[in-house]
Structure 1
């Protein structure tokens, strides 16, 4: 397996944010397999054009456990926390007006299509797989058994990959309720991104993820240092705390602080609580 530690995080430039914030949006089409309105757009500003995803607030489907019209803000908050951790795990994301009102606008990441048996990044790194085995092979972490057809089960595994491990920490911080395989993207340079962060930051424990392979294991030194820096940036009056206060509620912001403190106190990756389904469905 490749050594993902050598792949640096994507550094977001001011031009990325300027493009997304000020650029003219032109709708190219709708992404049909999404539960909420997701529009693929061309975004143009001065001499630059790129593609982006635009999710208008008015296209959000109400959820029983989240306030209406808040999913776009949560996506932006997830990006802000990702940047604060220094890992660049969420594509550049802003909140802005668009053709259908205010919404989330996120830079498009080119990634290969997935199949039901395996998720693979553009750099050739396999991230998820279904295997006919009782235990994971070297370099893999077990998630659990899944029924793949009538009378047949297979072991669902994810790579023992530093990029995924960082994402597992981010998900624990933002309380991600929907980390599916289809929400993992790897670009041509081997950088990993997580997308679809609308169901995050709930005050109650909602963590549902495929990335349980490190559950209960000690955090890496890298993760501990990133979390300690994040704790400082979440202090009252700090720019990050002020920005998050514009996107999520004060109670939700305080819950972020508590989750960071808990991770640092235990020094270990989160384990399933047993009070909430641990794995999203469908997982891929």
Structure 2
């Protein structure tokens, strides 16, 4: 996170540039600008959401909650994300756009870039904590500077266990002690900013998932072989 990113996302004027393809909900590339400074962002308005039976409207809140969770852990896995009420199509999330080679995704990074494995396994841990229902391969990016990011967290934090992800290559691996220390406070309480965006049952379930991780000390294993999103990429 940087002051520039927050300033542009929080206060910048928002100009719609176009709809991003292959998104389940309406998702837009926008330009945010303050004076002579401008940058790209991804805008997900509540008005563009397809109604779901298992998630209440307002998925943008979960996008923000995932960012705040990552920041509270000091992991920096999720691009800067804010909620904007005054935006072209109404309230929604604005997320900093990551410049990257979009031919790369989780499967290519795992196969061709072993130097990313530590960060990929960290995303797997993050997704279990957040109960990510939709970690497709294309939701993992590597920025032009080599940094690995996770995006698209609208379907996270359900109270019911719904984990679906393509990141199972690290299943059963020990969780490093440093990461266990990072997540330990979550067993007692969710960060205030995260808790404000979720309901009580979702907060309690997050704490319980962390408690299980602290007991097991290994990355989760899918014994059903069915916890995959579709499409995979």
Runs of 4 or more, structure 1, over 3 Å off, are 229-232
> Is the aligned partner of 1:184 residue 2:140?
yes
In structure 2, what is the Cα distance between the partners aligned to 1:113 and 1:80?
A: 25
Quick one: which of 65, 83, 87 aligns to 1:77?
Answer: 65
CA contact (8 A) 1:169 1:223 kept: no
Structure 2 SS opposite 1:89: coil
Quick one: which of 251, 260, 263 aligns to 2:213?
Answer: 263
Aligned to 1:146: none
Quick one: which of 28, 48, 51 aligns to 1:39?
Answer: 28
> Is the aligned partner of 1:280 residue 2:229?
yes
Question: Which has the higher Rg, Structure 1 or Structure 2?
Answer: 1
Distance 1:273 1:45, change over 3 A: farther
CA contact (8 A) 1:176 1:206 kept: yes
Structure 2 SS opposite 1:58: helix
> Is the aligned partner of 1:250 residue 2:200?
yes
Aligned to 1:172: 128
Quick one: which of 83, 92, 96 aligns to 1:103?
Answer: 92
CA contact (8 A) 2:187 2:208 kept: no
Distance 1:101 1:277, change over 3 A: same
The correspondence of residues 207-246 of structure 1 with structure 2, limited to 5 A, is: 207-231=163-187, 234=189, 240-241=191-192, 243-246=193-196
CA contact (8 A) 1:128 1:181 kept: no
Deviations 1:203-237 (A, max 9, x none): 111111111112122111221121124446x36xx
Normalized against structure 2, the TM-score is what?
0.92
In structure 1, what is the Cα distance between the partners aligned to 2:184 and 2:198?
A: 21
Greater fraction of residues in strand: 1
In structure 2, what is the Cα distance between the partners aligned to 1:231 and 1:92?
A: 24
In structure 2, what is the Cα distance between the partners aligned to 1:207 and 1:181?
A: 14
In structure 1, what is the Cα distance between the partners aligned to 2:3 and 2:102?
A: 30
CA contact (8 A) 2:110 2:116 kept: no
How far does residue 282 in structure 1 lie from its aligned partner after superposition? 1.4
Aligned to 2:8: 19
In structure 2, what is the Cα distance between the partners aligned to 1:181 and 1:283?
A: 6
CA contact (8 A) 2:43 2:92 kept: yes
In structure 2, what is the Cα distance between the partners aligned to 1:120 and 1:208?
A: 17
Q: Which runs of 5+ in 2 are unaligned?
A: none
Normalized against structure 1, the TM-score is what?
0.76
Aligned to 2:19: 30
CA contact (8 A) 1:85 1:229 kept: no
Aligned to 2:76: 88
